[in-house]
Amino acid sequence: MVEKVAPDKVTVWDVPLRIWHWLFGAAVLTALATGLIEELYDIEVHQWAGICVVSLLVFRVIWGICGSTYARWTKYWTTPRKFINHFLRKGELTPHTAPGIVLVVILMMAALVQSVTGLFMTDDIFFEGPLYSYIDEDTFDWIYLLHHNAWRFVIAAVAVHLSAHLIYGVILRDSTPLSMITGQKRVTLPAVSTPWVRALISLGAASLMFGLLTWLAD
């Protein structure tokens, strides 16, 4: 009987993606906490966190086009068979698991809807989002509905994400939860390097979005 040898750890997540991951998580959790928890409610911090989420999503969209190999959107494709095989322990050792791809798409779409609709919000007293003046009352009504419901999908996706990492790290003794710190996973694939020039261009685009929304919010 031939003994299976685990592949070596390979760098699959570049530095900008790892930094983005933690900044995005912090911005999303800050927005949720300051918007939903009465003791932490702060509309100004909530707005700034939302603007950060939008800007970070701009970076990620661009990075999904011009970033390193496994960060690109062309790698975020899966099938029902691959999804099922993952839970049957028949999945291939790849940077993205099939359930992980589905979860990332759901989380990013929910965060996009939640953060963008927040730019149009108002409390009719002290606060107006940076884009509120650009819509009419009818449009505001359905955007308001989206903003006050999409957060449930964000929380659900975050909860599944954290639970999965808890299972991987504690029960399965798998190093996957550390991959967004070390950048490494056990895969039989070429390692990636960081395209720093493209990273700076992507950062510039995200910064422009942040600056524009900040200007409109003043």
pTM of the model: 0.93
Cα→Cα distances 199→44, 63, 96, 196, Å: 29, 7, 21, 5
Chain length of the chain: 218
Q: What is the pLDDT, as a whole number, of residue 177?
A: 86
Out of 26-30, 61-65, 173-177, least confident range: 173-177
Q: By C-alpha distance, which of 31, 32, 36, 109 is closest to 73?
A: 109
- The residues near 22 (Cβ < 8 Å, ≥ 6 apart) are 180
pLDDT tens readout for residues 135-157: 999 999 999 999 999 999 999 99
In sequence order, the 6+-apart residues with CB closer than 8 A to the CB of 209 are 54, 55, 58
Architecture of the domain made up of 15-217 = Up-down Bundle (1.20)
Q: In whole angstroms, what is the distance from residue 211 CA to residue 99 CA? A: 35
* Euclidean distance between the first and the last CA atom of the chain, given in angstroms as a whole number: 69
pLDDT at residue 6, rounded to an integer: 56
Type of residue found at 175: S
Rounded to 5°, the CA angle 151-205-70 comes to 70
Tell me the per-residue pLDDT of 99-118, one tens digit each, with 9 for 90 and over: 999 999 999 999 999 999 99
